[in-house]
C-alpha cells in the first residue's frame, strides 16, 4: 500500500465545523461560547448526551448552529449507542487532506464537511472498573471505540484538524482562536496531537491492564453462558 506523502499544508486553519463527543461535560459551555465568540460562522456536530447539552447551551441558536451526527450521516445510532461516529462521512471529514484533489472530490461526492476542530473525551473506564461492584461487563461496557478513533484520526491529520482531548485544554484553545482571528496554528495543532496520542495510549493501557489482571473465570461468572 502506498502512503500519502503531504508536502503542502496551511499554518492557520479557520474553525468552521466542530465535532463534539464528550463524556465529561465540564467546561462545555466555555468551549461552545468561546468558539462562537471568535468563529461566529462555526457549526457543531454532535451525538447523544453531548448533543442535548450543546442544544441547551445554544438555546435559540441551536437550529442554525447544531447538527446531529445521525442527521449528518443519514444513519441511526445502533441501540445502546454502540455505533454513532464510526462512519465514512465522519472520518472523511477528519482525515481528508487539504490539498489532495482526490480527497476533495470524495468530500463533494458524499456531501461531507471538513472538521477543523474535534473535542472528544472518553468513557470513564478507569473510574468504572475501580468501583467495588465492577464486573467484566462493567469494563466491557465502558470501553470507548468511537472516541479514540475520532481522536486518533484528528491527531493524525493535525495538518488541518485540532484534536482536543481534555476540558483542561478548552481555555488554551479559546486563547489560540482569539490570537489568530478564529484559526488554529500548525504548531498548536501539533502539540494537541501529541497530547491526544498520549491520552489514547494511556486509555488503551488501562484497558489492557484490566484484561490482563482479571481471570477469564471472572468473565464467565458474570454472564448466563448459553
Determine the average pLDDT of the residues in 5-32.
92
Output the pLDDT for position 82: 62
Instruction: Tell me: pLDDT of 211 over 70.
Output: yes
Chain-centroid distance of CA 186 in Å reads 19
The answer to which of 28-37, 79-88, 115-124 has the lowest mean pLDDT is 79-88
Does pTM surpass 0.85?
yes
DSSP the chain: -PPP------S-EE--EEEEEES--TTHHHHHHHHHHH-TT-EEEE-HHHHHHHHHHHGGGHHHHEEEHHHHHT-PPPGGGSSSS-SHHHHHHHH--TT-HHHHHHHHHHT-----EEEEE---HHHHHTSTT--HHHHHHT--SHHHHHHHHHHHTTTT-EEE--GGGHHHHHHHHHHTTSEE-HHHHHHHHHHHHHHHHHHHHHHHHHHHHS-HHHHHHTS---
Structural domains of the chain sorted by starting position, each given as residue range(s) with its CATH number in brackets: 13-221 (3.40.50.1380)
Dump pLDDT digits (tens) for 116-169. Answer: 999 999 988 999 999 999 999 999 999 999 999 999 999 999 999 999 999 999
Q: Cell digits for 39?
A: 468563529
Distances in whole angstroms, Cα of residue 144 to Cα of each of 9, 39, 83, 118, 167: 31, 30, 11, 16, 18
* pLDDT digit string, tens, across residues 59-78: 999 999 999 999 999 877 76
Amino acid at each position: 500500500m502506498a502512503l500519502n506523502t503531504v508536502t503542502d499544508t496551511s499554518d492557520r486553519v479557520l474553525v468552521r465545523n466542530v465535532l463534539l463527543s464528550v463524556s465529561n461535560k465540564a467546561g462545555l459551555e466555555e468551549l461552545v461560547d468561546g468558539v462562537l465568540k471568535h468563529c461566529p460562522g462555526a457549526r457543531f456536530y454532535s451525538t447523544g448526551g453531548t448533543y442535548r447539552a450543546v442544544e441547551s447551551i445554544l438555546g435559540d441558536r441551536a437550529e442554525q448552529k447544531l447538527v446531529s451526527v445521525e442527521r449528518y450521516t443519514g444513519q441511526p445510532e445502533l441501540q445502546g449507542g454502540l455505533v454513532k461516529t464510526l462512519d465514512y462521512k465522519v472520518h472523511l471529514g477528519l482525515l481528508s487532506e487539504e490539498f489532495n484533489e482526490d480527497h476533495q472530490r470524495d468530500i463533494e461526492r458524499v456531501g461531507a464537511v471538513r472538521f477543523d476542530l474535534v473535542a472528544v473525551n472518553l468513557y470513564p473506564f478507569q473510574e468504572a472498573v475501580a468501583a467495588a461492584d465492577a464486573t467484566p461487563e462493567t469494563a466491557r461496557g465502558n470501553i470507548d471505540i468511537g472516541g479514540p478513533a475520532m481522536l486518533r484520526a484528528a491527531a493524525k491529520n493535525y495538518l488541518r484538524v485540532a484534536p482536543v482531548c481534555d476540558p483542561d485544554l478548552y481555555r488554551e484553545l479559546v486563547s489560540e482562536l482569539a490570537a489568530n482571528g478564529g484559526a488554529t496554528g500548525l504548531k498548536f495543532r501539533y502539540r494537541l496531537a501529541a497530547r491526544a496520542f498520549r491520552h489514547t495510549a494511556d486509555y488503551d493501557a488501562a484497558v489492557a491492564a484490566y484484561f490482563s489482571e482479571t481471570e477469564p473465570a471472572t468473565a464467565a461468572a458474570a454472564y448466563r453462558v448459553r
